[in-house]
């Protein structure tokens, strides 16, 4: 255990986050996402919801503010206007940690291709569909 570090952030996840550089992206995905197939690096977060993992990750990971968009969630199918309750929860968690950064909605293959190029994928046990988020890492200012 470490002081002031969310216990959800185990050694493997902390390593993946610390190894990321500015502009690298990490995906946090639901239990239905084909994470093993798509991941360069896979971190299992079995038994955890996406919201718990998003809050833990954003408690230590700076969000990139050099670009206009650094937070991306999956759409419900191809409908960027459809909003599920989990989407509202994801957006609320993001707003809590990065209040100035909007969450962009990406559809189907656009989202999947971005996940495939991510530094790492965190696979949660979130049962709700389309409960996926990509975070672009920023910098810690001196």
Q: Which residues form the catalytic set? A: 22, 64, 112
Determine the length of the chain. Answer: 142
d(CA 65, CA 23): 10
Label residue 112 left, alpha or beta by phi (over 0 means left) and psi (-120 to 50 means alpha): alpha
Residue with tokens 């408690």: 59
Got the DSSP string for 75-120? -BTTBTT---HHHHHHHHHHHHH-TT-PEEEE-HHHHHHHHHTSSE
Q: Please count the other Cβ atoms lying within 10 Å of the Cβ belonging to residue 117.
A: 12
């Amino acid at each position: 255990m470490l002081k002031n570090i969310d216990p959800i952030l185990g050694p493997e996840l902390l390593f993946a986050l610390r190894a990321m550089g500015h502009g690298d992206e990490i995906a946090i995905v639901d239990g239905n996402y084909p994470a093993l197939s798509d991941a360069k690096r896979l971190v299992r977060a079995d038994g955890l919801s996406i919201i718990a993992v998003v809050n833990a990750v954003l408690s230590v990971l700076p969000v990139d503010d050099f670009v206009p968009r650094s937070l991306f969630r999956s759409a419900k199918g191809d409908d960027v206007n459809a909003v599920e309750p989990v989407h509202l929860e994801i957006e609320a968690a993001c707003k809590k940690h990065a209040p100035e950064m909007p969450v962009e909605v990406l559809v189907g293959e656009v989202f999947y291709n971005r996940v495939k190029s991510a530094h790492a994928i965190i696979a949660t046990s979130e049962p709700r569909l389309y409960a996926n988020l990509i975070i672009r890492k920023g910098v810690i200012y001196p």
